[in-house]
Structure 1
Amino acid sequence: MEWRDNRVFQLIELYRNKECLWDCTSPNYKNIKMKHDAWTNIAHDMEIDVNDIKKKMNSLLSSFRRERKKQKEKKSGSAADEQYKFTWFGSKAMEFLLDKFQPKNVTDVGLQEVCIHLYITNIYVKSFCKFLDFYCLFLNLT
């Protein structure tokens, strides 16, 4: 099947509107039925087979990742103030995915929550050990 640019942009926009397919922060990201329905809706809207839609979207995602790789290589090998200009025609339309490709950092709040959890767990473990010591002592006395 031949894909004209306007159909590619239509597919990208429909994909963008179905966050469960690409946004890992979406509550429905891991919902397989929701994803299946999203792909089916896109295929219905475009009047194209679901498998062809998925295949094309995977190809577009691959092209976008390749373009991002070029961007990163350009940044590492050039002056800091030079900006890489996307050359692939679909790059601008797929910029909504840029956050998806950002590495996840542990925030101070997240780290603080982990520390609090570990601290509380440590208190429980220490309390339990004291209880066991007391219980063993009690058993030896009786």
Structure 2
Amino acid sequence: MAVKEGATSDDESLLLIEEYRTREVLWNPQNENFYKQNLKKDAWDEIGNVLKITAEKCNNKMTSLLSSYRREKGKEKISKGTRKGTSDTYTSRWFAYNALKFLDDRNTPRKRKNTESIQRSVSKNNATEATQHEFTPPAPPNEHGLQEAKRSRKEENNVLTDVVGY
């Protein structure tokens, strides 16, 4: 079997993955520089220098490795959903599978303030303020005032009818 030109060995691929892993700017969306393209280009150039190949070839090879990793993860996920026994579920034996496991938690949500707990504390503060100050409910609408408003609108409509002649 002939080896393709530009093909990398498994060891070279594992070295590429290790270099990729050490440069979070390339793969970690929580990194503050993740969206800075010039820093990503610099990181690929560094990897290329270490592996003594072009940055473009490194990027293409890593794209291929990531695609294979997604494929293997998909196979595992599908086999787990079939309700088969543990002996029948798919377990990847692909050489780079464990090396790329670090990517599994890259899309976990960042720690954020829990707005629900903030809202509860605000509600508690408002409740204590309400008990400190006497609350008086608003007065019900005055029915006599509503009838006056309706009557005045009817009178306006009558005036318009007299002017227009309808």
- Same fold by TM-score greater than 0.5: yes
Unaligned runs of 5+ in 2: 1-5, 124-166
Amino acid at match of 2:99: A
Matched positions, count: 115
- How far, CA to CA, are the matches of 1:50 and 1:70 in structure 2? 30
Q: What is the CA-CA distance between 1:112 and the residue it aligns to?
A: 3.1
- Report sequence identity in percent: 31
Alignment partner of 2:69 out of 57, 64, 68: 64
In structure 1, what is the equivalent of residue 156 of structure 2?
Answer: none
- How far, CA to CA, are the matches of 1:33 and 1:52 in structure 2? 18
Structure number with the higher helix fraction is 1
- How far, CA to CA, are the matches of 1:5 and 1:64 in structure 2? 14
Task: Write out per-residue CA displacement over residues 77-121 of structure 1, whole angstroms, 9 at most, x where no aligned residue.
Answer: 13486664222211011000111355x4x97844438869xx9xx
User: Are 2:23 and 1:26 equivalent residues in the alignment?
Assistant: no
Unaligned runs of 5+ in 1: 120-142
Name the Cα RMSD after superposition: 2.7
- How far, CA to CA, are the matches of 1:51 and 1:69 in structure 2? 27
User: Are 2:40 and 1:41 equivalent residues in the alignment?
Assistant: no
- How far, CA to CA, are the matches of 1:80 and 1:11 in structure 2? 36
- How far, CA to CA, are the matches of 2:117 and 2:42 in structure 1? 36
In structure 2, what is the equivalent of residue 129 of structure 1?
Answer: none
Q: What is the CA-CA distance between 1:11 and the residue it aligns to?
A: 0.2
Q: TM-score scaled to structure 2, two decimals?
A: 0.60
Q: Which has more radius of gyration?
A: 2
Q: TM-score scaled to structure 1, two decimals?
A: 0.70
Does the residue aligned with 1:78 lie in a helix, a strand or coil?
coil
Does the residue aligned with 2:72 lie in a helix, a strand or coil?
helix
